[in-house]
Amino acid sequence: MLTNNKDSQKLTLKLIQKTNNELVKKEFGAITLISEDKTLYLYMACENCTVDCPCKCMRKLKGILSRFIATNKYNINIDIPSFMEYYQPKHMKAFRVIVETILFSTHKMVSRKEKQSTDDVIYNLVYSAVPEFDEIFTESEIKMEFVNFARDLQDLPPNEGISTKIAELIEAKAKTIEGVKIKIYNKAEIEKMGMGLLLAVNAGSEVEPRVVVLEYNGDTSKPKTALVGKGITFDSGGYNLKPGNFMKGMKFDMSGAAIMSSTVMALAKAKAKANVMSVAMLTDNRIGGHATLTESVIKSYNGKTVQIDNTDAEGRLVLADGITYALRDGKADRVIESSTLTGAIVVALGKWHTGVFTKSEELWTELEAAAGTQPELVWRMPMIWEHLDRMKNTPIADLTNAEPMREAGSATAAAFLNVFAEGKPYMHLDIAGTADNGARGKAVMLRSLFEMLK
């Protein structure tokens, strides 16, 4: 539980840079409890420390607090002035990191264990009345409510988190927020629209697909931004079946849909001056008697035909139909799409950076600035015409869904998707390396998108 300037607790966490107390462990990031002082001292010091010193990196602060919260059993006060002095002139950013790290780390995560944890540690932020701090606190509470909602959707076991159930959960949450319009398309409606690529991925499943559309308009003067999310609730690979060790974590393949839907709801609850919609493309990718065969040719929602040379490259298929919906039905002016799309991005950037693909300087500039305030790491990747040429390597269809040479796998996937943007500003976020930590969802990029669009 997080409070600000409420009931004082018996212990206080305080950041220190210098001390003569021999009991304090003088290692960067170490925390020492001095019971006589009723204080936990967080030692943060290094020689020649500057404003841009790595020791003052907000990700370091986030990591130190996260590790502390993971083992802490005490109700404590957090002495904010001691942190603000250290992080000048980035004290506002540091305050946001403190608030959001506590809300992230103390969230009660999805559990199906017989015995549930009843721990509810209180963290009370202590600081003098500062309107800017109060505004950050309020906004962060709203933002993190939806970060944690998206994480809960990510963490559902795949036998529970099927497309129909996730659609219901998003709908129920959206109905609690003023100003959000909701539309959910069932399989019959999807068939009538002609979303052939989504239906091709869903063909092997006994669970119907769903397309969940949320809209919020807090400023009619702004261009309409569509947030399209990949919602593969479990990815077996289809007939291009994944090896067993690559099945683990495939419940997180719906992360993009959870994140994009939650971003719209967060903006609406914050009454942001934004004009946004989200399109969540929900289905699983299974094998079965009706599953789509490798080398099948399928007609997309926008009319282009796609040769499905790899049924495990299914995310780009559902996203293509989702992008078309956003532009043609949703009348979006620009599209941002998020997906756990390629293993290649993990090889390129590891678990640290989200890969960003766009030809729009405006979209990239806006996102890069927003991500820097959170902090979330993003890295712009190339998009060139040669990548698209590889995705046209089929004599029988307009496009193939799989680059045959295993080169630039993330970039060629982005080039495929960019075709469906129909010339409108488009940005692809490949979160395959950053969406989860291997065991739990992280709702990555939600905070950056909120900051960018608010």
DSSP string, 122-186: -EEEE----HHHHHHHHHHHHHHHHHHHHHHHHHS-TTTS-HHHHHHHHHHHHTTSTT-EEEEE-
Q: Which residues, listed in sequence order, are joined to residue 128 by a DSSP beta bridge? A: none
Q: How many CB atoms are located within 10 Å of the residue 85 CB?
A: 11
Length of the chain, please?
454
**Catalytic site residue 242?**
yes
- Geometric angle at alpha carbon 240, from 236 and 244, rounded to 5°: 50
Assigned token pair, 156: 């559902």
Q: How many CB atoms are located within 10 Å of the residue 110 CB?
A: 16
CA distance 243 to 343: 14
Q: Looking at 316, 334, 390, 447, which residue is catalytic?
A: 316
In contact, 381 and 409? CB cutoff 8 Å: no
Nearest one of 131, 130, 64 to 97, comparing CA atoms: 64
Phi-psi map region of 310: left, alpha, beta (phi>0 left; psi -120 to 50 alpha): beta
Assigned token pair, 317: 């298929």
Q: Which residues of 414-444 are buried (b: 16+ CB within 10 A; e: fewer)?
A: bbbbbbbbeebbbbbbbbbbbbbeeeebbbb
Q: Looking at 59, 242, 299, 359, which residue is catalytic?
A: 242
**Catalytic site residue 406?**
no
Residues assigned a catalytic role: 242, 316
